[in-house]
Amino acid sequence: MTDASLNTEYDVVVIGAGPVGENVADRARAAGLSTAVVETELVGGECSYWACMPSKALLRPVVARADARRVPGLSDAVQGPLETAAVLAHRDDQASHWKDDGQVAWLEGTGADFYRGRGRLTGEKAVSVTAPDGTEHRLTARQAVAVCTGSRAVVPALPGVDGARPWTSREATSAKKVPGRLVIVGGGVVGTEMATVYQALGARVTMLIRGKGLLPKMEPFAGELVARALGEAGADIRTGVTATSVRRTAPDGPVFVEVDDGERIEADEILFATGRAPRTDDLGLETVGLTPGSWLTVDDSCRVDGTSWLYAVGDVNHRALLTHQGKYQARIAGAAIAARAAGDPLLETDRWSAHTATADHAAVPQVVFTDPEAASVGLTLAEAERAGHRVRAVDHDLAAVAGSGLYADGYRGRARMIVDLDREILLGVTFVGPGIGELLHSATVAVAGEVPIARLWHAVPSYPTISEIWLRLLETYRDA
Rounded to the nearest integer, the mean pLDDT of the chain is 95
Question: What's phi and psi for 124, nearest 5 deg?
Answer: -60, 125
Is it the case that residue 352 has pLDDT exceeding 70? no
CATH topology assigned to domain 9-44+100-152+278-359: FAD/NAD(P)-binding domain (3.50.50)
- DSSP-derived letter for residue 299 is -
Residue by residue, DSSP assigns 331-362 as HHHHHHHHHHHTT-TTTTT-TTSTT--THHHH
Read off the pLDDT band of 354 (50, 70, 90): confident
- The answer as to CATH 3.40.50.2300 being correct for domain 161-275 is no
Q: What is the mean pLDDT of residues 422-445?
A: 97
Read off the pLDDT band of 344 (50, 70, 90): confident
Look at residue 295 and give its three-state secondary structure. Answer: coil
Query: Edge-to-edge strands of the sheet including 236-239?
Result: 236-239, 204-209, 181-185, 269-272
Q: Are 296 and 278 in contact (CB under 8 A)?
A: yes
Is it the case that residue 245 has pLDDT exceeding 70? yes
pLDDT value, residue 252: 87
pLDDT value, residue 480: 84
CA distance 237 to 225: 13
* Segments making up each domain of the chain, as ranges: 9-44+100-152+278-359, 161-275, 372-479
Is it the case that residue 376 has pLDDT exceeding 70? yes
pLDDT value, residue 353: 73
Higher pLDDT, 352 or 64: 64
Q: What is the mean pLDDT of residues 468-478?
A: 97
Do 9-44+100-152+278-359 and 372-479 show the same overall fold? no
pLDDT, one tens digit per residue, over 103-121 is: 999 999 999 999 999 999 9
How many other C-beta atoms lie within 10 A of the C-beta of residue 384?
A: 20
CA distance 105 to 158: 42
Is it the case that residue 446 has pLDDT exceeding 60? yes
Read off the pLDDT band of 348 (50, 70, 90): low
- DSSP-derived letter for residue 371 is S
What is the number of residues in the chain? 480
Is it the case that residue 4 has pLDDT exceeding 50? no
Q: Which CATH architecture has domain 372-479?
A: 2-Layer Sandwich (3.30)
Read off the pLDDT band of 350 (50, 70, 90): low
pTM confidence score: 0.95
The helix or strand, by DSSP H or E, that contains position 270, with its residue range, turns out to be strand 269-272
The helix or strand, by DSSP H or E, that contains position 478, with its residue range, turns out to be helix 469-479
Is it the case that residue 6 has pLDDT exceeding 50? no
pLDDT, one tens digit per residue, over 255-307 is: 999 999 999 999 999 999 999 999 999 999 999 999 999 999 999 999 999 99
Nearest to 214 by CA among 185, 183, 240, 188: 188
